[in-house]
Structures are given as C-alpha cells and as structure tokens.
C-alpha cells in the first residue's frame, strides 16, 4: 500500500529540504506533520523558517509532538505526508515519560505509527537525525536518547522502501542499494 521513505543525516545536512522537495514532486495534497514544539525563541524561529519554506506550495500543517499513529490516522488518505522529524518526536516522548520510555516502549510506538503509515494510500516521507556518529553524550539521559534514536532509525529504515542519507547537502541513496535489483 503506502510507500515509506526515510531521509536521515546530521544537523543541517539538508534532510528536511530534500524530503520537502521530494514530496513536492509528488501529485496530490501534502501534509507536513510537525513534531517540534517551539518552547523558546530559537525554536520559534526555526518553525517560522520551515513554515516560510512551505508557504504557497500547497502544504497543510499538522502539529503533533507524540501521537504519530493517531495523527496519521486523522490525515486524509489521499495526502502525501512528511513527518519532520523523528528526532524531536523521540525527544518529546522520552521527556514526557523519562522513567517509562524504554527500548520496548519506543519500539512499540514506532511499530504503531509504521503500521498506520503502511496502510496509507500515498507515500509517507520521514526525516530523522543520525545521532550516533559523534561523541558519547556525557549524561545518562543523553546516552539513552542516542541509543533509542539509533534503534528507532534502524526500525524505520528496515520498514522503508527507500533510505536517503544526507551528507553536506548531498543525497546519498542507501536503500535500495545503488545497482541492486
């Protein structure tokens, strides 16, 4: 049924821009499923820039910090959906339930929205950060987040029809592998 496409990379690698441009090449209505929460001026500026980038391009915005499965169920099946981003989604879920949000809870919530995405008639494009290539975080919460994000990304990549790794603004196809049949 629905096609899942993952765009992953480091901070400011161009993953959101690439996912948005990919979605804009697809016919039909488009919904931007935003997971970020503008708690401070810097984040409010980021949200405003993202909104400006989509202005006049046929996007509808849906904001949902934690319940991706529920949000996807509410979006019309004829729409292409861009989820931006899994990193903020995971942060929101982890901070909302620091004691109960463990690996099994993360896996279950990810599986739940992946199941809804798979049942959709139109593509779902997903943006996420690669957080495991830097230094080991100093705090236990930081290390837990890094590990959960890595596992979440792997779970989504396994389900995705395509994975694009963004490096210095350049898209590098990871799945399917170049030349694979």
59-89, pLDDT tens digit by residue? 999 999 999 999 999 999 999 999 999 999 9
30 SS3 class: strand
pLDDT of residue 54: 87
* Secondary element (H or E) of residue 69: helix 68-74
Count CA atoms closer than 13 A to 141's CA, side-chain side.
Answer: 10
Q: Establish whether 108 is a catalytic residue.
A: no
121 SS3 class: coil
Q: Which of 30, 50, 120, 122 is catalytic?
A: 50
Residue 149 belongs to domain with CATH number:
3.40.50.300
pLDDT tens-place string over residues 2-20 = 799 999 999 889 999 999 9
- pLDDT class of 180 with cuts at 50, 70, 90: low
180 falls within a domain: no
Domain count for the chain: 1
pTM (two decimals): 0.93
Domain containing 61 equals 4-175
139 falls within a domain: yes
């Amino acid at each position: 049924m629905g096609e899942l496409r993952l765009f992953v990379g480091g901070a400011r690698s161009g993953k959101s821009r690439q996912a948005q441009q990919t979605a804009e090449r697809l016919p039909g209505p488009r919904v931007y499923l935003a997971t970020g929460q503008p708690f401070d001026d810097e984040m409010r500026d980021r949200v405003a820039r993202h909104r400006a980038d989509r202005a006049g391009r046929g996007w509808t915005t849906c904001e949902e910090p934690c319940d991706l499965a529920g949000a996807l169920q509410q979006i019309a099946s004829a729409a292409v959906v861009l989820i931006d981003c899994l990193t903020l989604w995971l942060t929101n879920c982890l901070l909302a339930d620091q004691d109960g949000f463990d690996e099994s809870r993360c896996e279950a919530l990810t599986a739940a929205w992946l199941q809804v995405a798979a049942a959709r008639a139109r593509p779902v494009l997903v943006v996420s950060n690669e957080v495991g290539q830097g230094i080991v975080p100093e705090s236990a919460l930081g290390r837990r987040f890094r590990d959960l994000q890595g596992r979440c990304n792997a779970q989504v990549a396994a389900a995705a029809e395509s994975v694009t790794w963004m490096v210095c603004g350049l898209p590098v196809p990871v799945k399917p592998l170049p030349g694979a049949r």
